[in-house]
Amino acid sequence: MTRLRKALGSVLLVTLLAGCTTVLTPGAPPVVIQSTPFGSTVIAGGGQAGAPPANLDPDLPGTLPAMGGPRDGIYSGVAVPLSTGGGMCINTQTIDQFRVEGDRVRWGLFRGRIQGNSLQMVQGNTWFFGTFDGNRFNGQITVESRRMGPSCTFMVALAKTGSL
């Protein structure tokens, strides 16, 4: 009986720690993302609302196909909320003008250097980090609360969309 209670307690704890985020895009079915202490997973892709436009990457709606050539260039894509900070960060954000020149990256007020394939940038209370895979960048933006409240986290998917 004690083992059963421990097992049920563990299942209950993991269930309580799991959270769901729904991404709503006008004119498209919602996408539901389940976040757990072990990572995030899309659990409902919103069904089929017709075929997606040909210029979208099927891995993440809103991500453009990557251009070929060297890594240098302009990257664009989306930041999808994973942790909403108690409802403060609920909208998918568009990212553009993410500039890569050699091992240097610039986006808005962020500045960073690529080490290997990894990038980490900090601006104020916001962390931007991830890795390059060819001419794609996959990462995360974490915005820490200034008042000890919950933070917001976004999954970032970028592709090289232009030359310098």
- How do residues 45-65 score in pLDDT, each as one tens digit? 554 444 444 444 445 555 678
pLDDT value of residue 37? 59
pLDDT value of residue 16? 40
Taking the C-alpha atoms of residue 87 and residue 55, their distance in angstroms, rounded to an integer, is 31
Q: Which two tokens stand for residue 154?
A: 């976004």
User: Is the Cβ–Cβ distance between 24 and 33 less than 8 Å?
Assistant: no
SS3 20: strand
Strands across the sheet with 19-23, in order? 19-23, 31-36, 39-44
Q: Which two tokens stand for residue 66?
A: 């990557």
Tally Cβ neighbours within 10 Å of residue 140: 16
pTM of the model: 0.62
- How do residues 78-122 score in pLDDT, each as one tens digit? 999 998 888 888 999 999 999 999 999 999 999 999 999 999 999
pLDDT value of residue 86? 83
- How do residues 15-50 score in pLDDT, each as one tens digit? 344 455 555 455 555 566 666 655 666 655 554 444
SS3 71: coil
Tally Cβ neighbours within 10 Å of residue 138: 17
Mean pLDDT of 137-160: 88
Cβ contacts of residue 124 below 8 Å, gap of 6+? none
Name the residue type at position 92. Answer: T
pLDDT value of residue 43? 55
**DSSP 8-state assignment for residue 148:** S
Is residue 150 very low, low, confident or very high in pLDDT (cuts 50, 70, 90)? Answer: confident
Domains, the chain, ranges and CATH? 1-50 (no CATH), 56-164 (2.40.128)
